[in-house]
Amino acid sequence: MRLKSLRLLALAIGLGLPQASLAEPTALTADGYIDVLTGDVVRDAVIVVDNGRILAAGTAADTAIPDDARRVDLPGKWLVPGLMNVHVHLGLILPGIQMLELADESEAALALRMADNAYKSLLSGVTTIRLTGEVRHADLAVARAIERGQFPGPRIFTAAEIVSITGGHGTTLEPTNDGPYEVRKETRRQIRAGADWIKIAITGGIGTPGGGVAQGLMMPDEIQAAVEIATRHGVKVTAHSGSSDATREAVNLGVKGIEHGYFLDREVLQLMHEKDVWFVPTMIVSQPATFEFFRRIGAPDWYMARVKEVGVDHWKALKTAVEEGVNIALGSDQFPFEPNDGTTATIREAEYYLEAGMTPLEALQAATIQPARMLEIEDQTGSLSVGKLADIVAVQGNPLEDFHALRSLGFVMKGGHVYRNDWGEDDARTVPLPDEEPTDAHYHDPF
C-alpha cells in the first residue's frame, strides 16, 4: 500500500519525468484530437504541454502557443490519450520454446528482460500498465526504477505475485497456500512488498495443465480471506476466473475485478454490472488472431487444445458483457507490443471489443479512461484534459471514423516527454519494436 501511495504522489507532482521534458513548454499541432470523456472531436487542434501536464487544449484559433514553446507539428495526424493495458506480465514465460530458453533465468536477467519489455511497451503507445502476476518481486524493482527516471517505461501498477493455492493456476507441483490462514499470510506479504492490487486464481487456466479452465478451485473461505485482508489495507482484489459459478461466488464475497472470464454467462455478468465489478477480457489469448503468436513460441499441443477449448464461449462472454454494460478495461495477457494480426496485442484487443459490439468511442474508452477509472487515477490521466499528465499518442486518421487508424500509431508522449516520433526528428527510440507483416484479417465474428 505504501508503494501505491508513493506512486500516486509521483503522478501528482510529476516525478520520474526526464528533466528535458520539464525545461520548456511543448505545443503539439495536429488535424484533431478526441475527447474520450464526451466523444467530442476538436479539429485543427493544439495541445500545449508544460511541466509534464496539459496546459491548454483546443482549436488553433482559440489556443495560444507560448512564445518559448517547442513546436511538434503532426499534420494529418490525430491525438488520443496514451493507451493503457491492465493485464500484463512483463516477465511472461509461456509453455514452449521460451520456457526452455529461460529455464535458468537469474533474478538479474529477469529484471533486465522486464525493463526491456517495459520500454517496448511504452514505445508501442502504452503509457500505463497494470501487472497481474510476476515472480520474485522483480516488477516492484522495475516500477520503482521507472518512477525514479532511471530508464523509460510506462507507469506501472502491480499485483506483485499471484496469491495461488496448491495445484491451482500458475503453480508447479510445489505446495503454495492452502486454507484461509495461509491465504491471509500471503496476501499480507504481497501488500507489504508493495502490491497495488491482489490477484487470486480461483479457477484453472489455459497456461497450467491440470484443473479445468471452468473449474472452481479456490474455496469460498480462501477467497474471503484474501478480500478481508486486502480491504483492511485499502487494496482491491481481482480474480483470474473462467467459471460463472466461481465468479458469482467471488463477486458476492467482494472481489472487484475478473480477469479472462472465459465461460461467464449473462446472469453473472449482470451481477458484475450491478456490483460495479471490472471485467478485463484478454480476448487476444483465445481468438484466431493469436494463433500465429502461439506457433511463433512453439506452444505445445496441450496448450493449444486449452486455447481452442475456450474460444467460442469466451467470445460469447465478451459480446454479452458489452450488451449488459459491464465495466470493461483493456488487458491483453501478452506483452502490450506483441505482434498480432498485423498490429500490437493492445490494439488488436481493442479491435475485438469493437467487433463484439462496442462503438468506436467505447472501444477507445476501454483502452484509455476506463482503465484509469479502474486504477483510480482518472484525475491524473486517461483523457486529454487540461491539468492531466501529458500522456498522448498520435495516429493517422480519426479512430472514431476508422478505428483501425490506431494501427498507424507513430508518436508517443508520456508525461510531456516525446519517446517516439515516426514523423519527426525528435524520435528518441533506442530499440526497435518487433515487426510483423500486416494482414487484412479483422475477424468480425471469429467463430
Q: 159-184: per-residue pLDDT in tens?
A: 999 999 998 887 776 779 999 999 99
At residue 94, the pLDDT reads: 85
Which one is predicted more confidently, 206 or 237? 237
For the stretch 147-182, what's the b/e string if a residue is b when 16 or more beta carbons lie within 10 angstroms of its beta carbon?
beeeebbbbbbbbbbbbbbebbbbbeeeebbeebeb
Q: What is the pLDDT of residues 368-410, one digit of tens each?
A: 999 999 999 999 999 999 999 999 999 999 999 999 999 999 9
Mapped onto helix, strand or coil, the DSSP state of residue 395 is strand
State percent of the chain over pLDDT 90.
Answer: 77
Indicate if the pLDDT at residue 348 is higher than 70.
yes
Look up the pTM and report it.
0.93
Mapped onto helix, strand or coil, the DSSP state of residue 32 is strand
SS3 content of the chain, % helix, strand, coil (to 5): 35, 20, 45
Which one is predicted more confidently, 303 or 378? 378
8 A C-beta contact, residue 201 and residue 170: yes
The closest alpha carbon to 249, from 278, 217, 280, 281, belongs to 217
Which CB contacts under 8 angstroms, 24+ apart, belong to 48-51? Answer: 49/25, 49/390, 49/392, 49/413, 49/416, 50/25, 50/26, 50/416, 51/14, 51/22, 51/416
Indicate if the pLDDT at residue 142 is higher than 80.
yes
8 A C-beta contact, residue 57 and residue 45: yes
- The whole-angstrom separation of Cα 2 and Cα 251 is 26
Which CB contacts under 8 angstroms, 24+ apart, belong to 321-325? Answer: 321/261, 321/264, 321/269, 321/272, 321/279, 321/281, 322/353, 322/356, 322/357, 322/358, 322/362, 323/357, 324/266, 324/269, 324/270, 324/273, 325/273
C-alpha cell at 101: 530458453
8 A C-beta contact, residue 405 and residue 412: no
- The arithmetic mean of pLDDT across residues 69-77, rounded, is 97
Which one is predicted more confidently, 113 or 432? 113
Indicate if the pLDDT at residue 428 is higher than 70.
no
At residue 437, the pLDDT reads: 47
Indicate if the pLDDT at residue 444 is higher than 60.
no
- The arithmetic mean of pLDDT across residues 49-63, rounded, is 98
The per-residue pLDDT of the chain, averaged, comes to 91
Indicate if the pLDDT at residue 425 is higher than 80.
no
- The whole-angstrom separation of Cα 364 and Cα 404 is 11
At residue 58, the pLDDT reads: 98
At residue 23, the pLDDT reads: 66
- The arithmetic mean of pLDDT across residues 33-40, rounded, is 98
Which one is predicted more confidently, 5 or 258? 258
Beta bridge partners of 116: none
- The arithmetic mean of pLDDT across residues 267-289, rounded, is 96
8 A C-beta contact, residue 77 and residue 30: yes
Indicate if the pLDDT at residue 422 is higher than 90.
yes
At residue 175, the pLDDT reads: 79
The band of 276, judged by pLDDT with boundaries at 50, 70 and 90, is very high
Indicate if the pLDDT at residue 439 is higher than 60.
no
Indicate if the pLDDT at residue 201 is higher than 80.
yes
At residue 207, the pLDDT reads: 80
At residue 6, the pLDDT reads: 57
At residue 5, the pLDDT reads: 59
C-alpha atoms less than 13 angstroms from C-alpha of 85 in its C-beta half-sphere: 30
- The whole-angstrom separation of Cα 378 and Cα 370 is 8
The band of 436, judged by pLDDT with boundaries at 50, 70 and 90, is very low
The band of 303, judged by pLDDT with boundaries at 50, 70 and 90, is confident
C-alpha cell at 332: 491483453
With a CB cutoff of 8 Å and minimum separation 6, the contacts of 280 are 86, 87, 238, 257, 258, 259, 260, 328, 329, 330, 331
C-alpha atoms less than 13 angstroms from C-alpha of 64 in its C-beta half-sphere: 3
Domains located in the chain, CATH noted: 2-82+380-421 (2.30.40.10), 83-374 (3.20.20.140)
State percent of the chain over pLDDT 70.
Answer: 89
At residue 278, the pLDDT reads: 98
The band of 100, judged by pLDDT with boundaries at 50, 70 and 90, is confident
8 A C-beta contact, residue 334 and residue 340: yes
At residue 445, the pLDDT reads: 39
Indicate if the pLDDT at residue 447 is higher than 70.
no
The band of 431, judged by pLDDT with boundaries at 50, 70 and 90, is low
C-alpha atoms less than 13 angstroms from C-alpha of 67 in its C-beta half-sphere: 0
The closest alpha carbon to 157, from 323, 372, 339, belongs to 372
The band of 191, judged by pLDDT with boundaries at 50, 70 and 90, is very high
- The whole-angstrom separation of Cα 308 and Cα 346 is 21
Indicate if the pLDDT at residue 109 is higher than 50.
yes
At residue 210, the pLDDT reads: 66
C-alpha cell at 336: 502490450
